[in-house]
Structure 1
Amino acid sequence: MKDLTQYTDFLVRETETLLNIDSPTGYTENAAAWVRDEFAKLGFDARLTRKGGVLVFLGGPAEEDNGLLLEAHTDTLGGMVAEVKGNGRLRLTNLGGMNPNNAETENVRVVTKSGKICEGTFQLCNASLHVNKEYNDTKRTWDTCEVVLDENVKSKEDTEKLGIAVGDIVCFEPNVRITDTGYIKSRFLDDKLSVGILLGLAKYIRDEKITLKRAIYAHITVYEEVGHGGAGNVPDCCAEAISVDMGCVGEGLQCTERQVSICAKDSGGPYSYPVVTGLIEAAKKSGADYAVDIYPSYGSDVEATLGAGNDLRHGLIGAGVYASHGYERSHRRGAENTLRLLIAYALEN
C-alpha cells in the first residue's frame, strides 16, 4: 500500500486555506481564482470558465474518446440580504441549503456591491433570554432570525448609509479547526475538502511523474449548491464523469468520517452500475477503506451534467462528512482513502 502521508498533509493544508476564502454561491470569484492558481503552481493548464468555475487538464490522450471528468465544487451555502429592516437589522434569504437552525449565533460578513465588508451576527430576533419569554418556543426561520450588524445603526437609513442593500452577499464564518487527532471541522467541507483532494491528486500526478492512460480533467464548479454547477464545460473526449463530493455519515448509513463513500443511489436515482462496481474493485485493490451507501436527500454535480444532455457514465464518491450542511466534520483518513481510491481508479485502471 502506497504511503500517501505527504499528499494527505498537502491536501489538508490546501483545504484549510480554501475554507477561509468566502465563497457562497454567487460570490465565488476569489475562491475560483485561488483554485486556478494552485493548480497552475503544480504545472497544470487551469482556466476560468465563462460561468466562473475552473477547468483543469491533468493530462492524457485528449484525442481519444474515453476521457474522465472529475467534478468538485467550491461554492458553499450562505445568505443574501432580502430586506433592510426598520431597526437597521437585516432579514436574509438563503443561498443553497443554509439552515437557520444551525446558523443561529454565527458571525457573518456582509459584502456590499462596492466591495465593502461589514461584520455582524446572525441571531434570533429579540435574542436575549432574559427579555424574550418565547425564546425557546420560537421556530427558527429566515423571518424570525436576523443579522445584527456590528455597527452603530438604529434605522434602515443608518444601515443604507453603510452601503448595505438588498442583494448583498452574506458569508457565514467557517470556524476551521484541524485537531491533533486528525479531525477536520468546519462549515463548508462540502465541498472544499474534495477540492483539496483533487489538488492532492494533481500533486501526486506531478511528483510521481504519472503517464495517464486516458485524458483526465478536473472541473471545479461554482453553482452546485443551487443545482446547475456541472451543467456545462464537459470536454468532448470525456466518456465518464465522477462527482467528488462529500460522503454522507448518519443513521442508516455505513460510512464513517475515516472512510471514502461510494454512492450507489441518491435522490436523483442510481449511479452507473459499471462505475459503482469499478470503484468498489479499485477500492479493494488499493486497500482504500470504503463503504457503499444510498443517500436519501442528495444531488450532485454529475447529475446536473447528465441533466444538461451529456452522454456519460457517472459516479459519486467522497470522504465521509458528518453533520452535512451544518458544522461539518471529517477526518484526514477519509480524505486519504478518497485520494487512494482516485489514484487506483483514475490513474491505474
Structure 2
Amino acid sequence: MRLIPLDTEYLTDVLLKLLYTASPSGYTDRVVHLVCEELERFEIPFELTRRGAIRATLKGEVSEPDRAIVAHIDTLGAMVKGLKENGRLELVPVGHWNARFAEGARATLYTDLGQHRGTILPLKASGHTFGPEIDTQPSGWEHVEFRIDERVRGLPDLLRLGVHVGDFIAIDTSPEITTTGFINSRHLDDKAGAAVLLTALEAIRRTGTELPVDCHPLFTISEEVGSGASGALHQDVAEMLTIDNGTTAPGQNSSEFGVTICMADLGGPFDYHLTHRVIQLCQEFGIRHQRDVFRYYRSDSAAALEAGNDVRTALVTFGIDASHGYERIHFDALESLAKLVTIYMQSPALYPRDRYDIGPRAGFPTQPG
C-alpha cells in the first residue's frame, strides 16, 4: 500500500460540475449521466440499476471477498404540493430539511414543458407591508411559497405554463471556494463525497495501481429519502465503506479538517472490525482523523443493512457545518478522505472468511477484551 498523488485540480473541477448539476431525489438522471461520463473517461466499467444507481467495478487480484465504496449523488429539494390562486406554488420538501433554510433560496422549477426560475419566500416577505409580522410569523413548509419568474397573476397563468402538482424544484447551490480553502455551498452532502470517490478512482487509474480484491464504487440516487444503497449492492460484497458528511456542531467531535470516522449513528454501531481497520490506515499513513457518534443521522450503510444485506459497514466523513442548510466544508477534509479511500482500495480483504455468506467458526474474528 502507498499514498498516491491526487489531482486536486480535478477534485475541485468535478465537485463544481456535480454542484451545478441539479439532482433532487427523484430527479437525478442528469447527474447520473455526468458520473457515467467520468467513469467512461477513466475506462472503468459500470452498470446502472433500473432507476439509475451506478455500480462500477475495479478488478483486483482476486474477486472475493470484494468491497464497495459508496457515495450518494441525490440531494435535498422540493416538490409542488399545490397551485395557489395568487399564482404562487405550495411546496413540500424532498428529503428532510428545515424550511427556514429554504427561505430566500433561488431555485429552478421543472415542468413537463420546460423549466422556470423563481424564489422560495415566506408568506409574509415584505417588511414594508407586514411590518413586525415578518419576524413573528411561523416557520415551516406550510408557511413558504414559490414565486415563479413569469407573468403570473393567478391559477390560469400557472396552468398555461404547464405547472402541475408533483413538479420538482431544485435549489441553487451557489458554491464559493475561498482563498483559505473553505467551500460554501448547498448540497455538499453528498456531492463532495462523490467528488472524493471520483478523485480516488482517477488516481488509481492514472497511476496504474493494482488492487488486491475487486472494488465496486457505487453512486446511489435515493439516500436523502431513505433507500440509498438498499438496491445497488452486488450480492457478494463483504465490506462497504460509505462516504458522507459529518456534522460539526456543539456536542460533536467532528472537524472540518481531516477525516471524521463515525462509530455509530441512528442505526446503531458500525462494524467494529472494518471501522478499526479504517482507523488503523489513518494512523499508519499519517492521515489526520477523529471519531464521532451521530444521534440523528443515517446513511447508505443503514439502508443497505435494513434491506437485509449481510455486509460489514463503516462510515468516513468530511466535517460539515450547517448540514442540510447552507453548508461549509474545508478542502483539507476532502483531500484527507481521498487519500484514505485510495489506501483502503489497496488494502487486503479484512477477513478471507467473509467470502462466504455463512460458514464455520474457523476464521471468525474476536474483539479485544
Query: TM-score normalised to the size of structure 2?
Result: 0.91
Question: Structure 1: which 4+ aligned runs deviate by more than 4 Å?
Answer: none
Matching residue's letter, 2:164: A
- Specify whether residues 62 and 98 from structure 1 end up closer, same or farther in structure 2 by C-alpha distance, changes over 3 A only: farther
Contact 2:55 2:216 in 1 (8 A): yes
Matches within 5 A, 1:182-201: 182-201=181-200
For 1:106 and 1:234, locate their aligned partners in 2 and report how far apart those are by CA, in whole Å. Answer: 35
1:150 equivalent to 2:149? Answer yes
For 2:250 and 2:17, locate their aligned partners in 1 and report how far apart those are by CA, in whole Å. Answer: 31
For 1:42 and 1:107, locate their aligned partners in 2 and report how far apart those are by CA, in whole Å. Answer: 35
SS in 2 for 1:131: helix
Q: Show the counterpart of 1:309.
A: 308
1:295 equivalent to 2:294? Answer yes
For 2:49 and 2:332, locate their aligned partners in 1 and report how far apart those are by CA, in whole Å. Answer: 32
Matching residue's letter, 1:233: A
SS in 2 for 1:59: coil
What is the RMSD of the two structures over their aligned residues, measured on CA atoms? Answer: 1.3
The Cα shift of 1:56 comes to 0.9
Matches within 5 A, 1:4-43: 4=5, 6-43=6-43
For 1:335 and 1:104, locate their aligned partners in 2 and report how far apart those are by CA, in whole Å. Answer: 29
- Specify whether residues 240 and 302 from structure 1 end up closer, same or farther in structure 2 by C-alpha distance, changes over 3 A only: same
1:140 equivalent to 2:157? Answer no
For 2:124 and 2:27, locate their aligned partners in 1 and report how far apart those are by CA, in whole Å. Answer: 30
Q: Show the counterpart of 1:319.
A: 318
For 1:59 and 1:253, locate their aligned partners in 2 and report how far apart those are by CA, in whole Å. Answer: 38
Deviation sequence 1:221-252 (CA, Å, 0-9, x none): 00000100111121133101111111221111
Contact 1:8 1:335 in 2 (8 A): no
Contact 2:68 2:237 in 1 (8 A): yes
Matching residue's letter, 1:275: L
For 1:225 and 1:318, locate their aligned partners in 2 and report how far apart those are by CA, in whole Å. Answer: 16
Q: Show the counterpart of 1:128.
A: 126
Contact 1:247 1:260 in 2 (8 A): no
Q: Show the counterpart of 2:256.
A: 257
The Cα shift of 1:3 comes to 6.9
For 2:345 and 2:3, locate their aligned partners in 1 and report how far apart those are by CA, in whole Å. Answer: 16
For 2:4 and 2:269, locate their aligned partners in 1 and report how far apart those are by CA, in whole Å. Answer: 33
Matching residue's letter, 2:40: A
For 1:267 and 1:131, locate their aligned partners in 2 and report how far apart those are by CA, in whole Å. Answer: 44
- Specify whether residues 62 and 112 from structure 1 end up closer, same or farther in structure 2 by C-alpha distance, changes over 3 A only: farther
SS in 2 for 1:154: coil
Most deviating of 194-203 and 126-135: 126-135
Contact 2:124 2:137 in 1 (8 A): no
SS in 1 for 2:12: helix
Contact 1:258 1:320 in 2 (8 A): yes
Deviation sequence 1:252-301 (CA, Å, 0-9, x none): 12221122110000111000110111111100111111110001210010
Contact 1:81 1:91 in 2 (8 A): yes
Contact 2:53 2:232 in 1 (8 A): no
The Cα shift of 1:47 comes to 2.6
1:87 equivalent to 2:74? Answer no
Query: Unmatched 5+ residue regions in structure 1?
Result: none
SS in 2 for 1:158: helix
For 2:63 and 2:288, locate their aligned partners in 1 and report how far apart those are by CA, in whole Å. Answer: 34
Contact 1:79 1:98 in 2 (8 A): no
Seq. identity, %: 34
Query: TM-score normalised to the size of structure 1?
Result: 0.96
For 1:32 and 1:202, locate their aligned partners in 2 and report how far apart those are by CA, in whole Å. Answer: 16
The Cα shift of 1:61 comes to 4.4
Most deviating of 221-230 and 177-186: 177-186
1:118 equivalent to 2:141? Answer no
Q: Show the counterpart of 1:241.
A: 240
- Specify whether residues 207 and 169 from structure 1 end up closer, same or farther in structure 2 by C-alpha distance, changes over 3 A only: same
Higher-Rg structure is 2
Matching residue's letter, 1:123: L
Matching residue's letter, 1:286: F
For 1:209 and 1:100, locate their aligned partners in 2 and report how far apart those are by CA, in whole Å. Answer: 47
Most deviating of 199-208 and 73-82: 199-208
